[in-house]
Structure 1
Amino acid sequence: MARLAGPPEARNGTIMKKVALTVAVLALGLAACESKTANAVNNTDVSNAMEADANAAAASVDNALDNTANAADNAANAMDNAAANTVNNANNKM
């Protein structure tokens, strides 16, 4: 069995001080990592929200364009029908 150097009274508490110091350093390192992780999570949430908003806006624009095209088609069809009805009415009165 190996013997520790120095008299027992000189070693008293030295190991516990080293353990306490090691635990303190590790705790500080962990705290620093946690704040960076929280910031990364918050930044990711903001990015995801921005992407969702952009996708919703793009979908709204697409829907508006589709509705406008449909309205234009419906108006053209109505004009064609009105013209055909006018011709038919004129032919019926002859």
Structure 2
Amino acid sequence: MNKSLVLAAVIAAAALVACGKKEEAPAPAAAPAPAVVEAVKDAGMAAAAATDAASAATNAASAATGAAAAAVGAAGDAAKAAVTEAAKPAVEAPKK
């Protein structure tokens, strides 16, 4: 009976210790290294510069498209005038 009593006391003590255990608090997150912070800032500035460059390229392409359209219109007008001038002798010949 003494052995049973000692065994029961040991089991009860183990149960109390197990139930009273507290979980460890999670470690606080470490602050990012200064090099990482600088790299992120540099990447942000590079992205902004790339966006500005893309916008400038878009504007230049738009201006070039407008100039090309104007050139096509002028070439069409010049061709029409040349054809009209070339056809004048043929139109006037039957009148004489």
State the TM-score, normalized to the length of structure 2.
0.63
Q: 1:48-71: per-residue Cα shift (whole Å, max 9, x none)? A: 111011001110011112222211
CA distance in 2, matches of 1:54, 1:68: 21
Q: Which residue of 2 aligns with 1:33?
A: 53
CA distance in 1, matches of 2:54, 2:35: 28
CA distance in 2, matches of 1:59, 1:34: 37
CA distance in 2, matches of 1:12, 1:62: 73
CA distance in 2, matches of 1:12, 1:35: 33
1:13 Cα deviation from its structure 2 partner: 2.2
Q: Which residue of 2 aligns with 1:82?
A: none
Which segments of structure 1 move beyond 3 Å, counting only runs of 4 or more?
none
Map residues 1-94 of structure 1 onto 2, 5 A cutoff. 12-76=32-96
Query: Gapped runs of 5+ residues in structure 1?
Result: 1-10, 77-94
Q: Which amino acid aligns with 1:60?
A: K
CA distance in 1, matches of 2:81, 2:65: 24
Alignment coverage as a number of residue pairs? 67
CA RMSD across the alignment: 1.8
Query: Gapped runs of 5+ residues in structure 2?
Result: 1-30
Structure number with greater Rg is 2
Q: Which amino acid aligns with 1:28?
A: A
